[in-house]
Amino acid sequence: MFGTPNSIIATVDHDVHRRRRNAYANFFSKQSIRKYSPVVQLCVDDLCRRLEEHRSAGRKVNLMHAWTAFTGDVVTEYSFPASYGLLDRSDFAPEYYKLWMSILSGSHMLKQFPWIFPLMSSFPLWFVERYLPDMAVSYRWHKTWAEQIRNIKAGNSGSEKRGRPSIFETLLDSDLPPFDKSIGRLVEDAQTLVGAGSITTSLALSLATYYTISDKQVEARLTEELTHAMPNPNTLLPLVELEKLTYLSAIVLETLRISYGVSHRLQRVCPDQAITYNSYVLPPGTPVSMTAVHIHDNPLIFPNPRAFKPERWLPLKTEGARLQKYLIAFSRGSRQCLGMHLGTAELYLGLAGVFRRFGGRLRIVDTVKERDVDLTHDIFTPSAKLDSKGICMIINRQ
């Protein structure tokens, strides 16, 4: 539904999907993400330095821009020979956030008319900018990804400087069939990986920050736990240790619930067997879909579902374990989110880093919950009202 019919997310045939997904699986295993977590920690440090600059200057921070710059640098550093350096920008590169909102806003149109994007790609840039301005941003980025992959193919990646290959370098050196390694198809995967790794997690982080700041009891309890676990605010615990913190874990779980992950209906097809549901029999090949919103907002499972209540997950070993079977922010099964461990790691490390350094000094400003926070649109991911200027905060000097 994004004009990428050959990407992992859009691959229909089960065997082809399994082959393409398996090529990425090692990068996104829990063990691999723990090995990569020091890079995520460095990005947290970069983010906090930028936040400190905003604090010193008394400038407000657009949380969606800041967190998208963070997640964007994390996922592009992993995917390509170098990150995009979004956190090097003092304004958090707002055009990067706008790129993904532009792509997502066109998702319903592209789902119904999948030929639009391939047709647009055949036009020169000047034509797209003049006659299709809403799609010009994604057009330019497709050209950027194609150039990056072309450079990797030509051996001009420069990854030897950092001592580890990127995802796309490894794929191009794999035994995948030639079509799976073609520039056109890998550009589709680049959009999928970088987009999913940027915007869904940044929305979750923004909502977690908003709701935690808005409830002083939640913020105080989290800050107290982080202060006790990390006496030095500038030394972040390793990911494996942060995952042991009870209240931080409850906040991560509640964040995944209230942010949904993906709000759109995700179709699944059983190709060769009938599915029986109560008195209904669905023939083989029948698409079945649902949205996470219906589960995460079900008051019979999660009482008062639109309230941010980390305590609902406590104790983690009993009540938390029981509720987790209803948590489908990453979907389930063979097509569940490939980057679930990376996204969760960013939640733990990002929230721990920001609230350990700035907890108790954060204040939401120029933000209206009904306009800037609440789910109003489904553009594959949840979206606030289209006239929203984002969730903003300032950091008090004392």
What are 52-90's pLDDT values in tens digits? 999 999 999 999 999 999 999 999 999 999 899 999 999
Round the average pLDDT of the chain to a whole number and report it.
92
Mean pLDDT of the 305-334 span: 96
Comparing C-alpha atoms, which of 115, 111, 114, 44 is closest to residue 74?
Answer: 44
Question: How far is Cα 364 from Cα 385, in angstroms, rounded to an integer?
Answer: 18
- At residue 6, the pLDDT reads 87
Confidence band for 155, pLDDT divided at 50, 70 and 90: confident
Mean pLDDT of the 352-364 span: 97
Asked if pLDDT for residue 138 goes beyond 80, the answer is no
| Amino acid, single-letter form, for residue 205 | L
Asked if pLDDT for residue 261 goes beyond 80, the answer is yes
Number of helices (H) and strands (E) in the chain: give both, helices first.
17, 9
Mean pLDDT of the 270-287 span: 92
∠ CA 325-374-328, nearest 5°, is 15
Question: How far is Cα 16 from Cα 346, in angstroms, rounded to an integer?
Answer: 30
Structure tokens at 113: 């008319």
End-to-end CA distance of the chain: 47
Q: What is the pTM for the complete model shown?
A: 0.94
Mean pLDDT of the 316-324 span: 97
Mean pLDDT is lowest, of 64-68, 151-155, 181-185, for 151-155
Structure tokens at 26: 């090692």
- At residue 162, the pLDDT reads 60
**Which residues partner with 41 through β-bridges?**
none
Mean pLDDT of the 293-311 span: 97
Asked if pLDDT for residue 24 goes beyond 90, the answer is yes
- At residue 312, the pLDDT reads 98
Mean pLDDT of the 192-206 span: 94
Out of 10-19, 150-159, 349-358, 382-391, the most confident range is: 349-358
Confidence band for 267, pLDDT divided at 50, 70 and 90: confident
Question: How far is Cα 376 from Cα 149, in angstroms, rounded to an integer?
Answer: 37
Mean pLDDT of the 338-350 span: 97
Asked if pLDDT for residue 127 goes beyond 90, the answer is no
